[in-house]
């Protein structure tokens, strides 16, 4: 269970729609590239129509402040099967990084620690309609900033496991040394958060790159009594792109 899992969902039935060309997509899609099971022809660069409109608003806000910058979309809609695949992948990668062998009974506690740490960033792949993973609703987006089509350094990779991914990770260093590299990274993170907030998005507490509008996490963060997006499926007639 997540802190937001108790928020009821009253589905508003907005459709999923492809992101418009004015929003930069980071391709090849990172999860499709490693074999995540989206299904034949499915397009992960989709969101609910209201969320797409808010993303365009956020990009407009960004370009009013910094005309050379644009939003760069890393990931958007993610079916539950892909969520399950990526949770397993993240656990396996973190085990490799830490040198933990899941099959070694002597490392059972270390393996549990890896699962717990990955769980701070990856939502359980729940099939329960009352607790859909945020990305499965079409309400959540992972994104960063780009300039002239090139992604900016934000001081930590998207999907990195650990404290470096927390939105304010560099805030203390930025206050003490505002002209440092850490100061640059924190200002970029803050700028992304600010323009997304103006457009009505809420940020995941552990991830500088994750924002949503209309899902349970959003409702919990902003105090809304209910979410408006449940798990979303692409109609079969529009699955191929």
Q: What pLDDT tens digit does each residue of the chain (241 aa) get? A: 789 999 999 999 999 999 999 999 999 999 999 999 998 778 999 999 999 999 999 999 999 999 999 999 999 999 999 999 999 999 999 999 999 999 999 999 999 999 999 999 999 999 999 999 999 999 999 999 999 999 999 999 999 999 999 999 999 999 999 999 999 999 999 999 999 999 999 999 999 999 999 999 999 999 999 999 999 987 654 443 3
The angle that helices 181-198 and 49-65 make with each other, rounded to 10 degrees, is 130
Phi-psi region at 35: left, alpha or beta (left = phi > 0; alpha = psi -120 to 50): left
Q: DSSP alpha helices (H): ranges in 36-124?
A: 49-65, 80-98, 108-119
Q: So what's the pLDDT on residue 237? A: 47
In CATH, what number is assigned to the domain containing residue 178?
A: 3.30.1380.10
Total domain count, the chain: 1
Encoding tokens for residue 60?
């407009």
Q: So what's the pLDDT on residue 233? A: 80
For residues 141 and 204, is the Cβ–Cβ distance under 8 A? Answer: no
Is position 93 within any domain?
yes
Q: So what's the pLDDT on residue 234? A: 72
Is position 1 within any domain?
no
Is position 187 within any domain?
yes
Is position 185 within any domain?
yes
For residues 194 and 181, is the Cβ–Cβ distance under 8 A? Answer: no
Is position 68 within any domain?
yes
Is position 241 within any domain?
no
For residues 155 and 164, is the Cβ–Cβ distance under 8 A? Answer: yes
How wide is the angle at C-alpha 74 spanned by C-alphas 25 and 151, nearest 5°? Answer: 75
Exactly one of 14, 17, 202, 207 is catalytic; name it. Answer: 207
* pTM passes above 0.75: yes
For residues 144 and 192, is the Cβ–Cβ distance under 8 A? Answer: yes
Is position 69 within any domain?
yes
Active site residue 207: yes
Is position 107 within any domain?
yes
Residue 125's domain comprises 16-236
- In angstroms, the Cα distances linking 7 to 12, 20, 38, 229 are 15, 30, 27, 11
Burial of 234 (0-12, 13-18, 19+ CB in 10 A): buried
Q: So what's the pLDDT on residue 235? A: 60
Give the dihedral of Cα atoms 129, 161, 201, 69; nearest 10 deg: -140
Q: So what's the pLDDT on residue 108? A: 96
């Amino acid at each position: 269970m997540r802190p937001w899992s108790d928020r009821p969902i009253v589905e508003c039935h907005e459709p999923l729609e492809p992101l418009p060309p004015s929003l930069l997509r980071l391709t090849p899609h990172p999860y499709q590239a490693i074999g995540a099971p989206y299904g034949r022809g499915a397009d992960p660069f989709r969101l609910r129509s209201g969320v797409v409109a808010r993303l365009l608003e956020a990009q407009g806000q960004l370009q009013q402040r910094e005309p050379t910058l644009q939003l760069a979309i890393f990931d958007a809609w993610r079916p539950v099967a892909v969520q399950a695949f990526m949770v397993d992948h993240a656990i396996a990668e973190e085990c490799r990084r830490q040198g933990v062998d899941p099959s070694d009974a002597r490392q059972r506690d270390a393996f549990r620690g890896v699962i717990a740490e990955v769980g701070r960033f990856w939502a359980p792949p729940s099939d329960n309609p009352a607790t859909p993973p945020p990305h499965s609703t079409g309400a959540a987006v992972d994104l960063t900033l780009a300039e002239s089509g090139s992604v900016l350094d934000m001081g930590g990779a998207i999907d990195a496991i650990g404290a470096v991914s927390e939105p304010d990770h560099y805030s203390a260093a930025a206050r003490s040394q505002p002209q440092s590299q850490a100061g640059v990274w924190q200002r970029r993170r803050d700028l992304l958060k600010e323009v997304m907030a103006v457009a009505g998005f809420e940020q995941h507490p552990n991830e500088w790159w994750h924002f949503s509008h209309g899902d349970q996490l959003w409702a919990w963060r902003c105090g809304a009594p209910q979410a408006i997006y449940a798990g979303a499926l692409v109609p079969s007639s529009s699955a191929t792109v």
